[in-house]
Amino acid sequence: MPFRITDRAVSRIVAVAAASVPGTTELGRSLERPAGRTWPRYDVIVDDAAGTCSIEAFIAVVWPSPVTAVAEAVRTTIADWVRDSTGLTVTRVNVVVGPVVRGRAVTAELIDAHPTHPRLRPVTVRPTPLRPITVGRSRVR
What does the pLDDT read at residue 128? 86
The pLDDT of residue 125 is 84
Mean pLDDT for the chain overall: 89
By the 8 A CB rule, do 3 and 72 touch?
no
**Domain-embedded: residue 134:** no
- Cα distance between residue 99 and residue 116, in whole Å: 23
In a domain, 71, yes or no: yes
Query: Residue 94's domain spans which residues?
Result: 7-105
* pLDDT reported for residue 30: 61
Number of domains forming the structure of the chain: 1
Q: Does residue 125 sit within a domain?
A: no
Residue 13 lies in a domain: yes
On whether residue 63 sits in a domain, the answer given is yes
The predicted structure's pLDDT at residue 141? 57
Instruction: Confirm whether 97 is domain-assigned.
Output: yes
pLDDT at residue 140, rounded to an integer: 54
In this prediction, residue 33 carries a pLDDT of: 57
pLDDT at residue 34, as a whole number: 58
Residues 69, 108: contact at Cβ < 8 Å?
Answer: yes
Question: Per mean pLDDT, which of 8-12, 34-38, 98-102, 136-140 is the most reliable?
Answer: 8-12
**Cβ partners under 8 Å of residue 42, min gap 6:** 11, 14, 15, 18, 55, 56, 57, 58
d(CA 26, CA 4): 30
pLDDT: which is higher, 1 or 9:
9
- As a whole number, mean pLDDT of residues 6-10 equals 95
pLDDT at 11: 97
Q: Is residue 119 part of a domain?
A: no
Output the domain CATH number for residue 59.
Answer: 3.30.70.1350
Residues 71-95 have a mean pLDDT of 97
pLDDT tier for residue 20 given thresholds of 50, 70 and 90: very high
Residue 89 is assigned to a structural domain of this protein? yes
- pTM value? 0.81
Q: Kindly indicate the confidence band of residue 1, based on its pLDDT and cuts at 50, 70 and 90.
A: very low
**pLDDT greater than 80 at residue 26:** yes
